[in-house]
Amino acid sequence: MSLVELEINGNKVSQDVEERQLLVHFIRDDLNLTGTHVGCDTSQCGACVVHVDGKAVKSCSMLAVQANNSKITTIEGLADGENLHPVQEAFRENHGLQCGFCTPGMIMAAVDIINRNSILDEKTVREELEGNLCRCTGYQNIVKSIIAASEKM
């Protein structure tokens, strides 16, 4: 076992973990933050995307021990109390989700995309979503949501 100390959504966490535990399982099973999803478990779908030290990563392809001393944000950490984050709000307004399974990863990826790109057009958003899959194929409205959110942020 190894001690992992990190900050997640502003809360400090200190816990022993098995070295082989994936970050996503640490987040979901140990910390009960089940908004982050396990989709494909093979680094393809992006349902598990969280931010580690401000960078979007696939938490199914990272060990919890690698995240020691980092600052993590998950989907639960975006909203400010009852006020949704602009990207969450845009997904709601633009019907950016159908079944909702990919949504946490889509939104975490979207925040990262908007942070990195001052101007967003449809082509850029579609390219940037390379690592996120929506099995409902609801991409039209996901792209629309991200562009709408980028205009408000």
Partner 1 sequence: MYQFNYKKVETVQEAVNELNANPESKILAGGMTLIPTMKQRLASPEQLIDIRNIKELNFIKEESNNIIIGSTTNHFTVSSSDLIKEKIPSLSMLAEGIGDPHVRNMGTIGGAISNNDPTADYPAACLGLGAKIKTSKRELTADDFFISLFETALEEDEIVISISFPIIKSSFYMKFPNPASRYAMAGVFISKNNSDVRVAVTGASENGVFRWNEMEESLSNNWSKSSVESIKLSSEGIMSDIHGSSEYRANLANIMAIRAFEGINE
Q: Report the interface residues with partner 1, using CB under 8 A.
A: 2, 18-20, 22, 41-44, 46, 49, 55-58, 61-63, 65-66, 68, 109, 112-113, 128, 130-132
| Cα dihedral 29, 30, 33, 39 sign | negative
The residue among 149, 108, 115, 99 whose CA lies nearest residue 131 is 108
Q: Which two tokens stand for residue 143?
A: 């792209």
Nearer to partner 1, 11 or 117 (CB): 117
Nearer to partner 1, 11 or 122 (CB): 122
Q: Closest distance between partner 1 and the C-beta of residue 112, in Å? A: 7
d(CA 96, CA 117): 20
d(CA 19, CA 125): 36
Q: Is residue 93 a contact partner of residue 83, using CB atoms and an 8 Å limit?
A: no
Q: Closest distance between partner 1 and the C-beta of residue 37, in Å? A: 14
Nearer to partner 1, 93 or 112 (CB): 112
Q: Closest distance between partner 1 and the C-beta of residue 65, in Å? A: 5
